[in-house]
Amino acid sequence: MGIIPHDHHSRMDELLTRIPDCEELETVANMFKEISDSTRIRIFWLLCHCEECVVNLSAIMEMSPPAVSHHLARLRASGLIVSRREGKEVFYTAADTKKAQLLHHMIENMVEIACPEEKTTAEDQ
């Protein structure tokens, strides 16, 4: 790390000891690339609350099954969703990972919506 030319009496020295390296931030950048489409974000958010098949997701999203499958493949490759097969049907849901949970909460905070489960719990109290 180089010497900072101007001393503005900031916390820069402390921050520079904690700044993530480029490889760590590349992982974050790649995840944001994968969800950089509003349709993928909508599908992901929905799958955070339910498990669903391509046909039903296509109807909900008002898109063709191949188009939805493309988005699902991108989400699955990024590790945000998982799938399971039941006969000929494939069902998708959000992955049970810290990354998926953080993204789910970030989306909800960004658009100021609440999980259906959280809303019900708040109303019950």
Element holding 53 (H helix, E strand): strand 52-53
Q: b or e along 14-28 (b: 16 or more beta carbons within 10 Å of the residue's beta carbon)?
A: eeeeeeeeeeeeeee
- For residue 52, give the H/E element and its range: strand 52-53
Domain ranges of the chain: 34-124
DSSP one-letter string for 57-101: HHHHHTS-HHHHHHHHHHHHHTTSEEEEEETTEEEEEE-SSHHHH
Q: Specify whether domain 34-124 bears CATH 1.10.10.10.
A: yes
Q: Given the DSSP bridges, would you call strands 89-94 and 81-86 parallel, antiparallel or unpaired? A: antiparallel
> pTM higher than 0.85 for the full model?
no
* pLDDT tens sequence across 47-77: 999 999 999 999 999 999 999 999 999 999 9
For residue 5, the Cα-to-chain-centroid distance in whole angstroms is 39
Dihedral sign for Cα 95, 100, 105, 106, please. Answer: negative
Judged by average pLDDT, the poorest of 34-43, 82-91, 105-114 is 105-114
Q: Which residue has the higher pLDDT, 80 or 4?
A: 80
- pLDDT for 13 equals 76
